[in-house]
Structure 1
């Protein structure tokens, strides 16, 4: 296989499609808690949601998983779905909604290039809510590689964005 091809810079990951055990419960999380808009139902066993009118950013279905158990954490599979918020204030608003609904958070990290909040959806699928720092704030090592860290994210400081 040749190494002379690189994916075009404009390429984006368009959507994630998740197997869930209970469609209504999953909609309660992605639509009602996180605020994604339902764009369409595909029968009684699938739903498609988006932000801003896109056809879908998140697909949910119970075609092969209705009533099933979460995938074991120690087996191969999706680690998490990362949802990128446009501003730090938007991320703070998402955090406040989680707090207001007493939804459990697994962790929160400052990665240098981004700030992230980690949680699981009702089916145990990992979810990262994050915002990128502007590229000019990123640090690079002497070889040009991005320096990423994993430091605790100060959630109180993040929530101060709601007062600005």
Structure 2
């Protein structure tokens, strides 16, 4: 049998190289609602989301300009991060986050109903892909006759999602 990660293993945070630290903080804090937890001069910042107990996690997102200050996004067709996915607790929260993105003048690059989840896609100011999503309850995940997950790429009804944010 091959090695399997232990139960409870997960992705703790994503750390991104950015060109302008203040601009990146303004996006992740001001638009996406993460809390600035620590900053190291104009070199790095660490932002976290509120946890179920009400405390803010030390960091879900790290940002740095160590080798990228003033840099440009990687051109299409190159390897690297496809996107960082930010899980929201429910459809209403995803709708609220999507509304904030749109009200900030940020265009969505996509919106997909995967069957197991609903997601909207956008780019941060440095061209890093961001997925904002919510999972459906596991009991509602579509499965084939053999019990395997069936993921889809159906268009997501964004106006209906935004209506949930009302």
**Where on the TM-score scale, by shorter chain, does this alignment land: which range?**
over 0.9
What is the deviation of 1:43? 2.6
Matching residue of 2:99: 96
Q: Distance in 1 between matches of 2:32 and 2:107?
A: 13
Unmatched tracts of structure 2, length 5 or more: 51-55
Partner of residue 85, structure 1: 88
In 1, Cα distance between equivalents of 2:100 and 2:135: 20
- Whether 1:106 aligns to 2:104 is no
Deviation track 1:43-78 (CA, whole Å, cap 9, x = no partner) reads 321000000111100000000000011012211111
Pairing partner for 2:123 from 93, 104, 120: 120
| Secondary structure class of the residue paired with 1:156 | helix
Query: What TM-score comes out, normalization by structure 1 length?
Result: 0.94
Deviation at 1:20, TM superposition (A): 0.3
Following the alignment from structure 2 to structure 1, what is the Cα–Cα distance between the partners of residues 31 and 121?
15
After superposition, the C-alpha distances for 1:90-142 in whole angstroms (9 at most, x for unaligned) are: 00001111121221110100000000000000110000000000000001123
Report the counterpart of residue 4 of structure 1 in structure 2. Answer: 2
What is the aligned-residue RMSD (CA, Å)? 1.0
* Residues matched between the structures, number: 161
Report the 3-state secondary structure (helix = DSSP H, G, I; strand = E; otherwise coil) of the residue aligned with 1:144: coil
Runs of 4+ residues over 4 Å off in structure 1: none
Equivalent residue, structure 1, for 2:141: 138
